[in-house]
A = this chain, B = another copy of it.
Amino acid sequence: MTTQTAAKPFRRILLTGAAGGLGKILRERLKAWTDTLVVSDLSDLGPAQAGEEVVQCDLADKAAVLAMVKDVELILHFGGISVEASFEDILRANIQGTYNIYEAAHKHGVKRVIFASSNHTIGYYKTTDQLTASMPPRPDGMYGVSKCFGESLSRYYYDRTGLETVCVRIGSAFPAPANRRMLTTYLSYDDLFELLRCAAMTPRVGHTIVFGASDNREKWWDNREAAHLGFRPKDSSEPFVHLFPDSGNYPAADDVTTMYQGGGFILTGPQYKD
């Protein structure tokens, strides 16, 4: 027996949404931080691995969430719906669910939450706009609206109870950019994980909103208000630039998918007239 385990920064961390795209990635990596990683999802998570506890849980179930959060020191809240969906589904998963997480965190004295917010909180800014975190939200769908809810809810919990939160407005966290827009919004898995490390380990964060993008050449988001986190992305979309070669084929003036930072996402919801 060694004392190695004792050197981990946390004894017990909860990761919600552990069966999701990013959740799967994080599930592997987070074990280095904690003696016990509680992984949770509505979907099946498979058997618990070493150092894990598995909780299949509907975030909208308040009692279940309360039980799950017990003894947890840090929550990475990646659960809920991460695409555009019906409002009712989003209401249940992202609004009721996020409330349940915060109320449970408060009741159990959790000190910090890392909240997976999204660039879709500000997707209706133009692609020629430059943003800082304190500019008013302009969500691009119900999903984005629910993330705005999480940001103001967590602000309240910090002001009222001292529970700290880092809201990470995740860009495009995929293995590689899938279209021209993602050259600007790309967030590599390594950079995401480093950002989460900064969010978890900085001694004080209060309530901080930070944009999650790699060090891509084209930028829409200026993280100066979160410089105390010390996040320095190491990756970039440059290796993928060749996939989308320079072109004079300018988009049409009324093409909303290039006009707004949210990109094609804003068309994935209900069919509003435009």
A→B interface (CB under 8 Å): 7, 9-11, 33, 73-74, 87, 91, 95-96, 99, 103, 106, 111-112, 121, 124, 126-130, 134-142, 144-145, 148-149, 152-153, 155-156, 159-162, 164, 180, 184, 197, 200-206, 208, 216-220, 222, 224-225, 227-232, 245-251, 253, 258-259, 266, 272-273
**Is A248 a contact of B74 with CB atoms below 8 Å?**
yes
| Closest partner residue, chain B, to A100 (CB atom) | B87
**Is A145 a contact of B153 with CB atoms below 8 Å?**
yes
A138 cross-chain contacts in B, Cβ below 8 A: 155-156, 159
| Closest partner residue, chain B, to A260 (CB atom) | B159
Per the bound structure, the CA–CA distance linking A74 and B126 in Å amounts to 22
Copies in the complex: 6
A74 cross-chain contacts in B, Cβ below 8 A: 248
**Is B152 a contact of A73 with CB atoms below 8 Å?**
no
A112 cross-chain contacts in B, Cβ below 8 A: 250
A247 cross-chain contacts in B, Cβ below 8 A: 9, 201
A-B contact pairs, 8 of them (CB 8 A): A9-B245, A126-B206, A142-B156, A145-B149, A145-B156, A184-B228, A184-B230, A201-B247
Taking a contact as CB atoms closer than 8 A, the residue among B91, B161, B208, B259 that contacts A95 in the complex is B91
Per the bound structure, the CA–CA distance linking A126 and B164 in Å amounts to 14
Taking a contact as CB atoms closer than 8 A, the residue among B136, B227, B249 that contacts A155 in the complex is B136
Taking a contact as CB atoms closer than 8 A, the residue among B7, B140, B218 that contacts A227 in the complex is B218
A273 cross-chain contacts in B, Cβ below 8 A: 161
Taking a contact as CB atoms closer than 8 A, the residue among B95, B130, B218 that contacts A202 in the complex is B218
